């Protein structure tokens, strides 16, 4: 029996549709994780002391949720704001993180890979145990705001600078 083929137009749309489905599943997972781990109103959590850290270069990191499991793992959901043009030094991560750009443009490059640009509505993953050569706010006029979620061993940092 002859195998039916998709039209050229349909074949070119399949990767876009697959990407869109993957992105939507990822976003649903992030929303589900936030719903599961947010036991109190978000504003109440943000207002707690020691939940927000501001670096000397103006990067603001607010831990929205920090769930510690009985097995010694910590799940963290973090909202980060980077001022225009600000970036991080060379670093690596001990685990994968899932990221979602809320506002602005993030530029990221891992060793052996091209520079990638992610804008509002894009999601991407940070790689584990790979040199993160570049991560910066790719816009010199507007802040970058993104949400990221990761799991590490209790007390272990996510950003490791050599």
CA distances from 86 to 102, 134, 140, 141 (A): 17, 11, 8, 11
Q: Are strands 144-153 and 73-82 parallel, antiparallel or unpaired?
A: antiparallel
Among candidate residues 99, 108, 80, the one with its CA nearest the CA of residue 150: 99
CA distance linking residue 84 with residue 23, whole number of Å: 26
Statement: the pTM of the whole predicted model exceeds 0.95? no
pLDDT digits (tens, 9 = 90+) for 5-55: 667 666 777 777 777 776 766 666 666 655 555 555 555 544 454 589 999
Q: List the beta bridge partners of residue 117.
A: 107
């Amino acid at each position: 029996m002859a195998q039916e083929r998709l039209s050229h137009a349909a074949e070119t749309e399949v990767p876009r549709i697959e990407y869109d489905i993957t992105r939507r599943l990822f976003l649903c997972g992030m929303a589900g994780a936030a719903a599961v781990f947010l036991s109190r109103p978000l504003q109440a959590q943000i207002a707690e002391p020691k939940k927000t850290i501001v670096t000397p270069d103006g990067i603001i990191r607010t831990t929205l949720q920090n769930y510690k499991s009985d097995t010694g793992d910590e799940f963290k959901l973090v909202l980060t704001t980077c001022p225009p043009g600000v970036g991080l030094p060379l670093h690596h991560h001990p685990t994968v993180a899932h990221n979602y750009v809320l506002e602005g443009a993030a530029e990221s490059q891992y060793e052996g890979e091209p520079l990638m640009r992610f804008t509002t509505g894009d999601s991407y993953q940070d790689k584990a145990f790979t040199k993160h050569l570049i991560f910066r706010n790719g816009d010199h006029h507007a802040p970058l705001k993104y949400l990221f979620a990761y799991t590490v061993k209790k007390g272990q940092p996510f950003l490791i600078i050599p």
